[in-house]
Amino acid sequence: MSLWAEQGEAQEGKAFWILGMALLIGAVSFWDDRVGLPPSIRFGIHGAATVGTAWGAGLKVHAITVPILGTLSLGWMAVPLTILFLMWMINLYNFMDGMDGFAGGMTVLGFGFLSYLAWKGGHQFFAILSLFIMGAAGGFLFHNMPPARIFMGDVGSVSLGFLAGAFSVVGVHDGLFDIWVPVLIFSPFIVDATVTLFRRLLRGEKIWLAHREHYYQRLVLAGWGHRKTVLAEYCVMMACGISALFYSEGRESLRLILLLGWVAIYLSLAYSVRVIEERYAEQHRSKL
């Protein structure tokens, strides 16, 4: 058997594991959309799917590389941290599906960049799968732009969050890129959801309750509206994806500059949202 055929079979084996787990998550999420399920059942299925991916399929993030500083081997922590990453991707994608066209746009751009990187790295099977997901999301997005006529629901957002995380782990596990590449690509979702979660934790709020404190929600409430906000988010998504491509090809110094640069950009964006809110509140006070 040729090396090409062996690599193809290995890719297909991983893909079938991931797709099987995605079907399990999708079926439970569809049932949850229809009748509602207790959180214990939802999270139990999510946990089973992530364990099946990290342990059953043997897909895990073995190390975290920090440009110039070196690589930290995760050792025995590789499996639990991979499971945690997948669980967070599942839930944050669901959290961020709160604005017309938002999750659909992230899916088109995110899986588009993943498809290119997989194809470039010789993972044709995953490149094609990512392209299919991108195409399906594009068709959905046509009807989901504000004002939306159809909606994703948990069956869409939860499944896509899992697939985004799982395909990212495949790329890291197989050496196509390090963890910062998919983190950059999906950072418009990852940063917003993660920072919002920690802000609510620090205030002692019940994080499982519905809220409107994500940055994209705050922009909508501050008068930007859905269309303006989602178009601005698309610009950030595109910039993040292009930066991830440069990161994957760049030298260590460029990689570090890109990571630090995006930390500064996100801090600036967070401050800008606060300024927009204050100006909007001031305008309303002056009208009273």
Q: Higher pLDDT residue, 39 or 243?
A: 243
In 3D space, the residue among 277, 136, 259 whose CA is nearest the CA of residue 187 turns out to be 259
- What is the per-residue DSSP string for 7-64? HHHHHHHHHHHHHHHHHHHHHHHHHHHHH---HHHHHHHHHHHHHIIIIIS-----EE
Contact 136, 99 (CB under 8 A): no
pLDDT tens per residue across span 34-65:
998 998 999 999 999 999 999 888 899 999 99
Give the pLDDT band (50/70/90) at residue 2: very low
- Give CA–CA dist 225/231, Å, rounded: 10
Range of the structural domain that residue 238 is part of? 3-287
- The pLDDT tens digits of the residues spanning 111-143 come to 999 999 999 999 998 999 999 999 999 999 999
The count of structural domains within the chain is 1
Distance of CA 157 to the CA centre of its chain: 10
Average pLDDT, the chain: 93
Q: From CA 126, how far away is CA 10, in angstroms rounded?
A: 11
pLDDT for the residue 266: 98
Q: Is the distance from CB of 106 to CB of 98 less than 8 angstroms?
A: no
The band of 234, judged by pLDDT with boundaries at 50, 70 and 90, is: very high
Average pLDDT estimate for 65-73: 94
pTM of the model: 0.93
- Residue 226's pLDDT band, with cuts at 50, 70 and 90, is very high
Q: Look at residue 217 and tell me whether its pLDDT is greater than 50.
A: yes
Residue 90, token pair as written in the block: 């599942």
State pLDDT tens for residues 82-103.
999 999 999 999 999 999 999 9
Q: Which neighbouring-strand residues pair with 66?
A: 70
Phi, psi of 236 (to 5 degrees): -65, -45
When computed from its CA atoms, the radius of gyration of the chain, rounded to whole angstroms, is 19
Q: What average pLDDT does this structure show over 200-219?
A: 90
pLDDT band of 16, cuts 50, 70, 90 = confident
- For residue 156, the SS3 value is helix
pLDDT of 12 reads 73
Tokens of 287: 């009208």
Secondary structure tally for the chain: helices H, strands E: 11, 2
C-alpha 140/C-alpha 108 separation (Å) is: 10
- pLDDT tens digits for range 173-207: 999 999 999 999 999 999 999 999 999 999 998 88
